[in-house]
Amino acid sequence: MGLDKEADLVHMEARTADGYAHYITCRIQECAETTRSGPFSRYIDTNSLVVQDEYVFIQATSGGRASYYVSYKREAFAQIKLPKYSLPKDMHIISTDEKQVFPAVQEWNQNDTYNLYISDTRGVYFTLALENVKSSRGLEGNIVIDLYEVAGIKGVLLANKKVDERVKTFMTYNKGRDWRLIQAPDVDMKGNPINCLLPFCSLHLNLQMSENPYNSGSISSKVTAPWLIVAAGNVGPELSSTDTNMYISSDGGNTWKHIFEEEYNIWFLDWGGAMVAMKHTSLPVRHLWLSFDEGRTWNKYGFTTSPLFVDGALVEPGVENQIMTVFGHFSLLSEWQLVKVDYKSVFGRRCTESDFENWHLHNQRDFCVMGERKTYRKRRPGSKCMLGKDYLRTITEPCLCSHWDFECDYGYERHGKNQCTPAFWFNPASISKDCGQGQSYLKSSGYRRIVSNNCTDGLREQYRAKAQQCSGKAPQGLQLTTSDGKLGVHQGQNVTFLVHLEEGDLQRINIQLDFGDGSAVSYANFSKIEDGIKHVYKSTGIYQVVAYAENNVGIDSAVLYLHVTCPVEHVHLRVPFVAIRNKEVNISAVVWPLHPGTLTYFWWVGNNTKPLITLENSISLTFHVEGTNIITVQVSAGNTLIQDTKEVAVHEYFQSQLLSFSPNLDYHNPDIPEWRQDISRLIKRALIQVTHTPEEHILVAMFSGLPTSAELFILPPKNVSERRKGGKADLEQIVESLLSALNQNLVMFELKPGVQIFV
């Protein structure tokens, strides 16, 4: 559930019984089912709804492939366009400020890295910003992307990228268009030369934000002092988790200085006029370090007489934040202790004009950053004076547009530093797919100005998309799918068909959909079918559904085969109770209800571990060995799978006789398998009792249905040597004995007290 910028508008995922979800909105004061609206007509994946600033994001999976959709300013949803073969398996929205979307996408061939993308203003068309950015798991199992946006300077970011199995830190000053390694300091904090040469050696930074809001984390910057960046890291060929030092930049990341040999938490006071450092350790401490010159020098101070296990620190709110409260424990068993550190006495006077200097934002001496020159009026390092409220002063002027202010448009890839050419999968003409004759569209130059870039004139006109007249096009690339991506539906259930056209004037193309059951619909254009076309099938079967798109230039079609079934509730396996060796027999499965639609039958015979699979409900078998064979059939219909199992006795020869019963047995016949098995045993027991026939010679099989009937099988001896002695003559004597008893009404059994049944 998400809250909108409109305080009373609520966004929700409404779960369905079959595990899907709908995206719905309502006013909080009236959120009954009748007052809810569904901005997206199809099912969405659970836990995929994200409401952030002017954007709403949802995910819908079809055919095992996820698609992502975005709504800008609560308008109609559009499918997010990533490069064709990115095939994302996960997406995280990192930010939506500055009127664009900045997501991290894990593609089909990635496991522990993500690619960074950046969108146009509407959040629809995405281009690659940086590949293979390191990811990790947070304390609560959440995905954490190694990316940091420098506070107060738009377009300046740091990211940890995996390069040949090594993680390196890269920095950009134009929102991901260009990235570079960070030059390490010339000397360490003791003045010793570092000797680190690019690209083999550089400065690498830990970019993890603290999950404890009262610690500064591995990296920190503030809007009130955007030129200052403090971070933990190391110098070398790659990022290290053990060799951690502290570094500071006082010019927005262009140059760095080594300040501590271990990791410290660092807080900013009074617009960066003072910086407080405290060792990040699980051991108790009683000292902190102060710097009044942007980290050039640090002085050690005691803030408590007894060592304190520090849990965190809180800087008093407000821009004149000159008071810091440190809290922790003197021992692991003691109560919380609060230590207030007041720095007001340090800032003993108000700043005067001589305490200020100008600082020009730049990228390696290029003073045009994101299309503008920006000058900050800031306090000189070392001036211990206090600033007033709302102090931050900047002067901004636009720059002429250059190559560096433009990134490659959607579908284009950069070759060299400044040339954008179409990707192999992209047809630039496809951008005009919705354009009709007499209309015009904006033809991309292959470049687009970076969102939030404020450059003017210069190359802007050269790279601007130009209006082009549309020529009439025949419809191409017609696609027909169902809203949930499935090709099966239950009889009587609503199915929603989605029609998508790759190229053609959507407002001037006639659409026809033939449902394959004798009914069809037609629409004058695509605007009326954006939410899909619903239909209900009243009979089971396989239906050929055909969509046609036609205009005065041409026609295109798409076909879908839909399986309409009804739930299968019961299967009865029909087998002969006794079969003759080497003689073919028929075996069938009877399914209820009688017309369930397309079914798949899986047959297991004897000890075979692999089934015989058919679309027919019967098979023919020949048994070559005497004995008992177990036959199992499983019937599959959609998500339903049911089975039945029977036994077949195989003999060299046998005789059989149909049996009938007293009419009163029908009254007591519930016609279920268990009852038939019990009655078979009763009849067999009665026959043995009257005729003294050995048990192995008798098999009684009850038939289903009414009137109640059965078949008596007279079987040869199981012992082969005994069978050879008497053969079929002995079997004839057993048959005569049984028939004599049956004809004289000597065979009977008691069903229950007072109810006798004659066989």
DSSP 155-202: T-EEEEEEETTEEEEEEESSTTSS-EEBPPPSB-TTS-B----TTTSE
Return the H-helix or E-strand segment holding 445: none
Confirm whether 476-565 and 570-651 share one CATH topology. yes
Q: Which CATH superfamily is domain 570-651 in?
A: SoxY domain (2.60.40.2470)
3-state secondary structure of 234: strand
Residue percentage of the chain with pLDDT more than 70: 95
d(CA 310, CA 341): 14
In one-letter notation, the amino acid at residue 125 is Y
Residue 320: exposure state from Cβ atoms within 10 A (0-12, 13-18, ≥19): middle
Residue 624: exposure state from Cβ atoms within 10 A (0-12, 13-18, ≥19): exposed
Instruction: Report whether pLDDT(726) > 80.
Output: no
Mean pLDDT of 653-681: 89
Instruction: Report whether pLDDT(388) > 70.
Output: no
Residue predicted with more confidence, 318 or 340:
340
HEC-encoded secondary structure of 479-490: EEEECCCCCEEE
d(CA 357, CA 281): 37
Instruction: Report whether pLDDT(59) > 70.
Output: yes
Dihedral sign for Cα 296, 300, 301, 304, please: positive
pLDDT, tens digit, 9 for 90 and up, residues 676-685:
889 999 999 9
Lowest mean pLDDT among 224-233, 531-540, 587-596: 587-596
d(CA 460, CA 448): 9
Helix, strand, coil fractions of the chain, as percent rounded to 5: 10, 45, 45
Mean pLDDT of 265-270: 89
Instruction: Please give the angle made by the CA atoms of 550, 523 and 60, to the nearest 5 degrees.
Output: 95
Return the H-helix or E-strand segment holding 740: helix 720-743
Going by pLDDT thresholds of 50, 70 and 90, the confidence category of residue 437 is: low
Instruction: Report whether pLDDT(722) > 70.
Output: no
d(CA 128, CA 83): 8
pLDDT, tens digit, 9 for 90 and up, residues 575-590:
888 998 899 999 999 8
Please list the alpha-helical segments (H only) found in 471-626.
none
d(CA 729, CA 638): 54
3-state secondary structure of 198: coil
List residues bridging with 299 in a β-sheet: 290
Angle in degrees, 0-180, between the axes of helices 720-743 and 673-691, rounded to the nearest 10: 90
Lowest mean pLDDT among 7-21, 46-60, 150-164, 351-365: 7-21
The pLDDT value recorded for residue 319 is 47
The neighbour count for residue 219, using CB atoms within 10 Å, is: 21
d(CA 66, CA 79): 11
d(CA 604, CA 110): 42
- Main-chain dihedrals φ then ψ at residue 14, nearest 5 degrees: -100, 115
Mean pLDDT of all residues belonging to the chain: 88
3-state secondary structure of 723: helix
Instruction: Please give the angle made by the CA atoms of 114, 117 and 120, to the nearest 5 degrees.
Output: 165
Going by pLDDT thresholds of 50, 70 and 90, the confidence category of residue 4 is: low
The pLDDT value recorded for residue 195 is 94
Mean pLDDT of 347-365: 90
Instruction: Report whether pLDDT(673) > 90.
Output: no
Q: What is the CATH number of domain 353-398?
A: 2.10.70
Residues 6 or more apart whose Cβ sits within 8 Å of residue 595: 539, 540, 566
Q: Give yes or no for a contact between 256 and 248, defined as CB atoms under 8 angstroms apart.
A: yes
Edge to edge, the sheet with strand 640-651 lists 578-580, 640-651, 627-637, 600-605, 612-614
Q: Which of 88, 47, 41 is nearest to 67 (CA)?
A: 88
Fold of 476-565: Immunoglobulin-like (2.60.40)
pLDDT, tens digit, 9 for 90 and up, residues 695-707:
888 989 888 888 9
Find out if CATH 3.30.60.270 is the number for domain 405-469: yes
Task: Name the residue ranges covered by the structural domains of the chain.
Answer: 1-79, 353-398, 405-469, 476-565, 570-651, 655-758
Distances from the Cα of 194 to the Cαs of 191, 211, 256, in angstroms? 9, 32, 12
Return the H-helix or E-strand segment holding 48: none
The pLDDT value recorded for residue 142 is 84
Instruction: Report whether pLDDT(278) > 90.
Output: yes
Instruction: Report whether pLDDT(554) > 50.
Output: yes
Lowest mean pLDDT among 110-114, 442-446, 581-585, 672-676: 672-676
Going by pLDDT thresholds of 50, 70 and 90, the confidence category of residue 211 is: confident
3-state secondary structure of 696: helix
The pLDDT value recorded for residue 175 is 95
The pLDDT value recorded for residue 433 is 61
Going by pLDDT thresholds of 50, 70 and 90, the confidence category of residue 632 is: very high
Mean pLDDT of 499-510: 79
**Bridge pairing between strands 640-651 and 578-580:** parallel
Going by pLDDT thresholds of 50, 70 and 90, the confidence category of residue 250 is: very high
Going by pLDDT thresholds of 50, 70 and 90, the confidence category of residue 607 is: confident
The pLDDT value recorded for residue 360 is 96
In one-letter notation, the amino acid at residue 335 is E
Q: Which of 469, 548, 542, 552 is nearest to 508 (CA)?
A: 552
